[in-house]
Every structure is written in C-alpha cells, then in structure tokens.
C-alpha cells in the first residue's frame, strides 16, 4: 500500500445534523442541502454518482448531472442506448450519491427508475446549448469507435447539413427519473462519530426517519 494513503485523514468539524435539524420530508431536506452546496460555491453541486447493475449482476457507477427535481424524484438525461441506459432497461433500479467535500456532507438515494415523458425530454433538450444538442445527435454513446476524428468529422458534417435549422431530439436520448424509496443524509463529525439520518418509506408510503451508527 502506498504509505501516504494511510496517513490521509482530517478531523470533521464543520457542523452537525440532528433529528431537530432534519425536515420531516426528505425531498425538502435534500433541497435545503443542495441549496447550501450551491451557496457555498461548490463546483457542479448537482454532480452525482449514478450506480446501476450490469448484465453480470455487478455494480456499475459513473458521474451524471442532476437536471431536474420535483416531488416525485431526481431527473438526469442520457442516451437510452448507452451502457447505463441498457442496464436501466434490464434493471430499473439505481442509487445516486452526492458528496460535497467542503461541507463534509454526503447524500445517498436509492429507488426505482422510470423514463421522463417525451415532453419533458424535448423541453430539456431544446434548452441545451446548440453544441450539446449536436453532440447528442452524432454520438452513439458507449459504442466502440476507432478514434476521436470520427466524432469530430460527424459533428462538422451535421453542423454543415442542418445550418441554423432547429434540431430535433434523438428518440434514443431522454430523461430518467429516480423515484426515491430511501434517502440517507451524512454529516461529518469529530472522532468519526458522524451523523447519519435515513428516511425510508413504510408500506403506506409514509417516511420513517432513523439514525444509523456511523
């Protein structure tokens, strides 16, 4: 083991998270912490690790960006023919993890996953910069390609072909909504006695809040 790794440690002392602090609704608690991360100037506070299950039953994780939040769930967008898209088609369940280092906070969310509506996907696609729209059209995400030149040439050819015309969202590109069944809010504390509060739904859909040992 590289020796310096064992020595990497710090004392967590930026805050606390008690039952008295926690909102009864985990969605509202998430909105509050996300707002804190944005106000703290954290770069891309909406970046989250999306974990899925591959065809061998193994976990598969990558960073995606949260691009929508409502009372049903957390929304991100991607190619549905990509590796994660294929994995979600086969196993429509996932977890997402947010980590905001300077705040010493982490949020974990687990739940089922569904597609957003075509209208939602269209609206978000058309809100993206034109370069991102063009890129989504030319990229067969997760496919093996010979080199980068293939992508860049395809982008040039598409841009020349369409000119200034409005672009249509590829049918293979769209949104996913993670429907939370469990949330865990983690706040770093001294002596590694961190605060961990979990919200889970009972059989009636009522949120139950529990403290977990760190």
- What pLDDT sits at residue 192? 92
- Going from N- to C-terminal start, the domains of the chain cover 12-128+171-211
Cβ–Cβ < 8 Å for 112, 93: yes
- What pLDDT sits at residue 155? 94
How far is the C-alpha of 71 from the C-alpha of 28, rounded, in Å? 9
Neighbour-count burial for 56-95, b at 16+ CB within 10 Å, e otherwise:
eeeeeeeebebebeeeebbbbbbbbbbbbbbbbeeebbbb
pLDDT in tens, the chain (214 residues): 688 888 888 888 888 999 999 999 999 999 999 999 999 999 999 999 999 999 999 999 999 999 999 999 999 999 999 999 999 999 999 999 999 999 999 999 999 999 999 999 999 999 999 999 999 999 989 999 999 999 999 999 999 999 999 999 999 999 999 999 999 999 999 999 999 999 999 989 899 999 999 9
* Class of the CATH domain delimited by 12-128+171-211: mainly beta
115 SS3 class: strand
- What pLDDT sits at residue 1? 61
Residues assigned a catalytic role: 192
């Amino acid at each position: 083991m590289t020796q310096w790794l064992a020595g990497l440690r710090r004392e967590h002392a930026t805050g606390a998270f008690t039952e008295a602090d926690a909102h009864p609704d985990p969605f509202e608690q998430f909105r509050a912490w996300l707002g804190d991360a944005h106000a703290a100037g954290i770069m891309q506070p909406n970046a989250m690790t999306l974990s899925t299950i591959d065809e061998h039953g193994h976990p598969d994780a990558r960073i995606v960006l949260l691009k929508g939040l409502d009372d049903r769930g957390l929304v991100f967008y991607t190619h549905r023919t990509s590796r994660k898209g294929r994995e979600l088609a086969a196993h429509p369940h996932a977890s997402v993890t947010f980590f905001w280092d300077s705040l010493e906070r982490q949020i974990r969310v687990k739940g089922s996953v569904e597609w957003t509506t075509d209208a939602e996907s269209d609206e978000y696609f058309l809100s993206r910069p034109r370069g991102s729209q063009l890129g989504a059209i030319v990229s067969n995400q997760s496919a093996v390609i010979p080199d980068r030149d293939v992508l860049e040439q395809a982008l040039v050819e598409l841009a020349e072909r369409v000119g200034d015309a409005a672009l249509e969202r590829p049918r293979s590109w769209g949104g996913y909504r993670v429907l939370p069944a469990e949330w865990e809010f983690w706040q770093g504390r001294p002596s590694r006695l961190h605060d961990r509060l979990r919200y889970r739904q009972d059989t009636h859909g009522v949120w139950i809040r529990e403290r977990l040992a760190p």
